[in-house]
């Protein structure tokens, strides 16, 4: 039957006893995508083990490592080599975990013990087990994700499993690993970079680092059909700094009428009834109206962190309870979306900001800068405002028009950011949203107050976004 189906072109053979009805995709992609079904058919009840267990079943250098009682050493398929060593699932004292298609996944305790065995890479392919620095970083990731209580449970499980398997020779190494991760011992001189960063208080969020790599690639090669490479700034700032401050605060829920906000800026005094909100307007205005400070940027992550802290300190000067210029101490979220954990803020920021130097000056670099700050959310409050100041500092440094997000455009802006976060740093949707706001900002007659007020009305910029949506209004270009 299979031979007739192959001859008729309905299916094709990928390997011995492996067929597919997908006549288009490369065989290697099909095999890797369906690897659990393939492994389960060839090695029923096998356990994902060693390096593959530590890497959550990902294929590394085309290899997958398993334990099985089927007498095979390896199975070679297009795009995948299944490396087999003899063994069985463990049921007690620490059982292996259920996995897809009747397979098992090594428990974290077994994963740790198995990866203490030495192995060598050959022909440019990864070894069966993690190197010691890789294993240290694996345990550091567990510490960051699980916390102290669950990490201690892993230590006890590993000891119990080692004793039951007669692998007590590994116990000293196990204790050293946990002592280093917990800070009871200093890291080795050549320890894993994440472990070192963890002990220095500079650990990072690895999912966000991958996200930033994706976003940086997008930002470095923006499609000119979606967003201009450059738009000219106004000849004189005029009303731009005032409205930049006004709208940036409106997005965050600090709402004043135009006249109230103008009176705050002109008198340099917040209203007695709302001193902190008024100071937010003033602090943001001071950041965006300073002709030198508003365009300060750098390729050095340390200097960028310094600018970020200084600007946050200025913006939130009226809220000492928020500790302006200090990293957050409690986790923050929007809806069900969690931002970077407090203990990973500085490390994640520095990892993201280190990519800035690889992005050409201008709009791509500016959008990436804003995205990094917002994705980390490093402060307890004021993250959106300081992120937009960092965005516009990049544009000013490149001699380009700044970007203002008017009231009516708030929901589109927030949706663009949300799509970038949920799509692992894909900036496509955010680029389209920001392109429209950029064109609007560049076209506004900022030098003339009366003309600005007329265009704000004509373009619906001051409309509440909910009311505008119900009325079918959107942000129009001047």
Q: Which of 11, 29, 28 is nearest to 20 (CA)?
A: 11
**10 Å Cβ neighbour count for 207?**
12
For residue 122, the model assigns a pLDDT of 76
Q: How far is CA 228 from CA 131, 318, 393, in A?
A: 47, 37, 18
| Residue 422 pLDDT grade (very low, low, confident, very high; cuts 50, 70, 90) | very high
pTM of the model: 0.84
34-63 mean pLDDT: 95
- How many whole angstroms separate alpha carbon 390 and alpha carbon 396? 10
226 and 309 fall within a common domain: yes
| Residue 452 pLDDT grade (very low, low, confident, very high; cuts 50, 70, 90) | very high
Instruction: Enter the tokens of residue 56.
Output: 């959550």
Phi, psi of 232 (to 5 degrees): -75, 145
Q: Per the domain annotation, does 236 fall within a domain?
A: yes
For residue 309, the model assigns a pLDDT of 97
224 and 270 fall within a common domain: yes
Phi, psi of 43 (to 5 degrees): -135, 75
Burial (Cβ within 10 Å: 0-12, 13-18, ≥19) of residue 86 = exposed
99 and 192 fall within a common domain: no
The percentage of residues in the chain with a pLDDT greater than 90, rounded to a whole number, is 91
242 and 354 fall within a common domain: yes
Is 90 exceeded by the pLDDT of residue 473?
yes
Is 90 exceeded by the pLDDT of residue 98?
yes
Q: Per the domain annotation, does 7 fall within a domain?
A: no
Q: Decide: 50 and 128 in contact? Cβ < 8 Å.
A: yes
Q: Per the domain annotation, does 14 fall within a domain?
A: no
In the chain, what is the greatest distance between 2 CA atoms, to the nearest angstrom?
A: 87
CATH of the domain at 247: 1.10.3290.10
Is 90 exceeded by the pLDDT of residue 5?
no
The percentage of residues in the chain with a pLDDT greater than 70, rounded to a whole number, is 100
Q: Decide: 195 and 187 in contact? Cβ < 8 Å.
A: yes
For residue 201, the model assigns a pLDDT of 87
For residue 405, the model assigns a pLDDT of 98
Angle, CA of 321, 327 and 331, to the nearest 5°: 85
Is 90 exceeded by the pLDDT of residue 7?
no
Burial (Cβ within 10 Å: 0-12, 13-18, ≥19) of residue 401 = buried
Q: What is the pLDDT of residues 172-181, one digit of tens each?
A: 999 999 999 9
195 and 247 fall within a common domain: no
276 and 155 fall within a common domain: no
For residue 66, the model assigns a pLDDT of 97
**How many structural domains are present in the chain?**
3
Q: Which of 99, 102, 104, 71 is nearest to 85 (CA)?
A: 71
81 and 135 fall within a common domain: no
111: number of CA atoms within 13 Å, CB side? Answer: 24
Query: Which of 171, 202, 233 is a domain's end point?
Result: 202
Query: Which of 75, 109, 143 is a domain's end point?
Result: 109
- How many whole angstroms separate alpha carbon 346 and alpha carbon 427? 23
- How many whole angstroms separate alpha carbon 248 and alpha carbon 261? 12
Q: Per the domain annotation, does 120 fall within a domain?
A: no
Q: Per the domain annotation, does 180 fall within a domain?
A: yes
Question: Where in 319-374 does DSSP place strands (E)?
Answer: 333-334, 337-338
Helix (H, G, I), strand (E, B) or coil at 375: helix
Q: Decide: 393 and 414 in contact? Cβ < 8 Å.
A: no
Q: What is the pLDDT of the chain when averaged over all its residues? A: 95
Instruction: Enter the tokens of residue 440.
Output: 């609007």
Query: Which of 53, 75, 109 is a domain's end point?
Result: 109
Question: Where in 263-321 does DSSP place strands (E)?
Answer: none
The domain of 44 spans 20-109
């Amino acid at each position: 039957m299979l031979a007739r189906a192959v001859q008729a072109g309905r299916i094709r053979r990928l390997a011995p006893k492996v067929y597919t009805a997908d006549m288009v995709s490369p065989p290697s992609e099909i095999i890797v995508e369906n690897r659990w079904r393939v492994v389960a058919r060839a090695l029923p009840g096998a356990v994902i083990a060693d390096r593959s267990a530590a890497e959550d079943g990902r294929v590394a250098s085309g290899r997958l490592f398993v334990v099985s009682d089927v007498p095979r050493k390896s199975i070679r398929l297009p795009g995948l080599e299944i490396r087999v060593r003899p063994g069985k699932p463990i049921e007690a004292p620490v059982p292996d975990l259920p996995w897809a298609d009747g397979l098992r996944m090594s428990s974290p305790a077994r994963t740790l013990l198995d990866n203490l065995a030495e192995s060598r890479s050959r022909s440019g392919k990864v070894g069966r087990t993690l190197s010691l620095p890789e294993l240290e970083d694996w345990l550091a990731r567990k510490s960051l994700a699980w916390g102290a209580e669950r990490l201690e449970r892993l230590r006890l499980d590993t000891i119990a499993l080692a004793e039951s398997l007669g692998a007590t020779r590994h116990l000293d190494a196990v204790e050293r690993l946990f002592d280093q991760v917990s800070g009871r011992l200093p890291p080795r001189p050549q320890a894993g970079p994440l472990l070192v960063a963890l002990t220095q208080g500079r650990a990072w969020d690895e999912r966000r680092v991958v996200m930033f790599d994706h976003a940086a690639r997008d930002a470095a090669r923006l499609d000119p059909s979606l967003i201009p490479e450059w738009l000219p700034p106004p000849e004189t700032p005029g009303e731009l700094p005032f409205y930049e401050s006004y709208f940036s605060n409106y997005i965050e829920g600090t709402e004043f009428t135009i006249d109230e906000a103008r009176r705050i800026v002109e008198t340099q005094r917040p209203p007695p009834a709302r001193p902190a909100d008024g100071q937010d307007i003033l602090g943001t205005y001071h950041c965006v109206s300073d002709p030198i400070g508003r365009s300060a940027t750098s390729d050095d992550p340390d200097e960028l962190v310094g600018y970020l802290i200084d600007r946050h300190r200025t913006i939130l000067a009226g809220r000492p309870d928020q500790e302006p210029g200090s990293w957050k101490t409690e986790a923050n979220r929007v809806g069900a979306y969690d931002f970077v954990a407090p203990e990973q803020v500085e490390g994640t920021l520095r990892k993201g900001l280190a990519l800035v130097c690889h992005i050409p000056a201008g709009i791509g670099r500016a959008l990436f800068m804003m995205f990094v700050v917002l994705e980390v959310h490093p402060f307890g409050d004021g993250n959106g405002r300081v992120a937009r100041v960092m965005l516009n500092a990049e544009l000013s440094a490149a001699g380009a028009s700044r970007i203002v997000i008017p009231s009516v455009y708030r929901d589109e802006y927030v949706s663009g950011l949300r799509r970038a976060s949920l799509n692992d740093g894909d900036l496509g949707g955010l680029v389209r949203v920001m392109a429209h706001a950029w064109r609007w900002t560049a076209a506004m007659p900022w030098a003339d107050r009366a003309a600005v007020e007329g265009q704000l009305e004509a373009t619906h910029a001051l409309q509440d976004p909910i009311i505008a949506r119900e009325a079918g209004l959107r942000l129009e270009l001047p």
